[in-house]
Structure 1
């Protein structure tokens, strides 16, 4: 049995997903499975996954549903049910994990808590330039390599260079809330199931945060690891982002907070 199940969401983005899977192929922590939460991708995604499985590189379970528009919450719930491990790490098919990514999540996991990580956003030109060798060698996490390829100076670059005491200090000092972030978060499967997973009424915009808010209402606390568990985020368009979905989700989140909801009637278990 795996110690960790990694849920990776994807939709018709094979070039990015391939880079992400190469990132998981060189993790220092080895006892994990990957559950692909596929929101209706075409055959190219299946071919890519089957190729990785055939090579025996990764233990992958491909969970797929029909394409009915942006239904990420629904496919994530199906992926949660499919997870074999007691502990779940969630990320996206556009986030390449550093080699110690799962090791950090495993190190910091604790009963009664979930972990809140972040990401390092890359511009499109560098996202396209990264290849398999850059991932396996760790170049895509190396600040010098990224700077040589056009990355601008920023305080956020500390995410790539922080280790040990420095990362602990920045985790403690960051003003960013330790929320559940779909691109980099982890928690116990029993806790996620106890709040009934994701609210399937919610499309793009904050459905991950709302899950975390119900976990808080359940009494689960959070720990900040945004400067410790590192993944680089590949750039892409977001055609599924609409004002309507954002506003609808804000209303649902407000009700969750105001009514201190621990459970959604629109999650894994249906009303």
Structure 2
């Protein structure tokens, strides 16, 4: 086992064993090996606990399961608890519905730099294709091959270039893309000391933009960002979002607006609470 991991991979989950298994399996095939996995579990039931306990016995990586009772969508709170459980100085954050390409962590490790966080993206798959991907498809990396995906029903799209761009082309596209290099919960990384300096996630925020708000506080704290959306590739598995509602989105937009307008770099509703 790894005693001093160079990266802590924080993976969020909630009652989605099928997707979590595929996600975890992709980390068994990473080129970069010196990492631990911290599962941020927002109140899943016994099935998820049993799965993780069993998976620990076959995984080559240390796995920390951070759980709290189900109290609705409280992802910000469980992510803060997961951050406190990390034993590495560098954190990669993703979701339990994102299959990481074999060089995913290698890219994050090589591109990390003091004073910066890294901003990646994802490639979203349709539901039927998400369900059909097997462990073997992940182990052989077939599921990242555009020809294989098209053969299994992937529609044509300009977004497909994410999967076909080589090292040079990816670098060019990352310099040219108009997409903001924001903190994205499915694929971003940064230094734990920076995440703690801004007090982690704002726990008032539920679904809709809590990751972006964290990034905005990092910017206000003087941390810059680098774009890696065409280099660090993960496949997003499709699923329903029953927790999505306009009330929480509107509330979060108001919090983000205050963060930007008042140039806040710290939330009193984060890891450390005001007494």
What is the TM-score when the length of structure 1 is the normalising length?
0.99
State the 1:166 CA deviation.
Answer: 0.2
State the 1:250 CA deviation.
Answer: 0.2
Structure 2: how far apart are the matches of 1:164 and 1:139?
19
Q: How many residues align?
A: 271
State the 1:58 CA deviation.
Answer: 2.4
2:253 is equivalent to residue 240 of structure 1: no
2:92 is equivalent to residue 89 of structure 1: yes
State the 1:208 CA deviation.
Answer: 0.1
For residues 9-66 of structure 1, what are the alpha-carbon distances to aligned partners after superposition, in whole Å with 9 as ceiling and x for unaligned?
A: 0000000000001000000000000000000001111111112211243210000000
- Choose from 21, 33, 39 the match for 1:30: 33
Structure 2: how far apart are the matches of 1:69 and 1:140?
33
| Unaligned residue ranges in structure 2 (runs of 5+) | none
Structure 1 residue runs of 4 or more that deviate by more than 2 Å after TM superposition: none
> 1:132 and 1:194, CA in 2 relative to 1: closer, same or farther beyond 3 A?
same
2:179 is equivalent to residue 176 of structure 1: yes
For residues 129-183 of structure 1, what are the alpha-carbon distances to aligned partners after superposition, in whole Å with 9 as ceiling and x for unaligned?
A: 0011011010110101100011111111111111211000111111110000000
Structure 2: how far apart are the matches of 1:98 and 1:56?
18
Structure 2: how far apart are the matches of 1:70 and 1:166?
39
Partner of 2:227: 224
Structure 1: how far apart are the matches of 2:177 and 2:46?
42
SS of the counterpart of 2:64?
A: strand
| Unaligned residue ranges in structure 1 (runs of 5+) | none
* Cα root mean square deviation, aligned: 0.6
Q: Do the aligned residues in 2 keep the contact of 1:52 with 1:58 (CA within 8 Å)?
A: no
What is the TM-score when the length of structure 2 is the normalising length?
0.98
Partner of 1:77: 80
